[in-house]
């Protein structure tokens, strides 16, 4: 029974440290990249609407490969993420590609939308291309982690839990030591 409790204790400690480390990495990565975590050269973006369902669900995280060139390499059928306005990124499928001199203009449409987007997308506004990698519903978590409250909660709460767990472990060991000391002094014959 003691071995099982020790194993469980070690597992809980490892999981808490791993969770804290993951939260630190996500929060620091998000802040360093301007709000979007990145991994292995891909940016993770949260999906905030259902315009691309069923390709990916609202609240998912998608991986996009950032645009390296000038954004002219995309073709009809590709799913791109583009800057719609200063504060809004949109991920939709290209339905038509038109060239106008050195500019490429993309017409886009969400898979779940009835009509194409009203405004065409200039190649200079393309941020990246969807890679096919999706984690359903994890976008809600990333959005929370990017908020000031989320960053505070995700860094402080695991730290407090680890601190309290450490105090509990020290208290248990002191009680064991105290019990052993009492047992040893009770067994010693008087001199």
The residues annotated with a catalytic role in the active site are 49
CA distance 98 to 100: 7
Supply the pTM of this predicted model: 0.62
| 3-class secondary structure per residue, 77-94 | CCEEEEEEECCEEEEEEE
Buried b (16+ CB within 10 A) or exposed e, 51-70: bbeebbebbbbbbbeebeee
**Phi and psi based region of residue 101 (left: phi greater than 0; alpha: psi -120 to 50; beta: remaining):** left
Residue-wise pLDDT for 42-99, tens only, equals: 787 888 888 888 888 888 888 888 887 787 788 899 999 998 888 888 899 999 999 8
Residue-wise pLDDT for 87-111, tens only, equals: 888 899 999 999 888 888 899 999 8
Residue-wise pLDDT for 106-156, tens only, equals: 999 998 889 888 989 888 888 888 988 888 887 777 777 777 887 777 778
Residue-wise pLDDT for 7-43, tens only, equals: 887 887 787 777 667 666 666 666 665 656 666 677 8
């Amino acid at each position: 029974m003691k071995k099982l409790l020790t194993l469980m204790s070690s597992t809980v400690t490892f999981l808490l440290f791993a969770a804290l480390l993951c939260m630190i990495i996500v929060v620091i990565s998000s802040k360093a990249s301007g709000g979007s975590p990145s991994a292995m050269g891909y940016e993770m973006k949260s999906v905030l609407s259902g315009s691309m369902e069923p390709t990916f669900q609202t609240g998912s995280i998608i991986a996009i490969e950032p645009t390296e060139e000038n954004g002219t390499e995309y073709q009809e059928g590709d799913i791109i993420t583009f800057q719609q306005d200063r504060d809004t990124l949109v991920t939709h499928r290209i339905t038509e590609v038109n060239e106008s001199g050195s500019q490429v203009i993309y017409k886009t449409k969400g898979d779940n939308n009835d009509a194409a987007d009203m405004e065409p997308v200039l190649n200079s506004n393309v941020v990246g291309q969807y890679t096919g990698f999706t984690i359903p519903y994890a976008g809600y978590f990333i959005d929370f982690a990017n908020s000031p409250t989320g960053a505070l909660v995700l860094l402080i709460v695991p730290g407090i839990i680890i601190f309290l767990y450490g105090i509990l472990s020290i208290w248990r060991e002191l009680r064991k030591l105290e019990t052993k000391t009492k047992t040893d002094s009770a067994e010693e014959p008087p001199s």
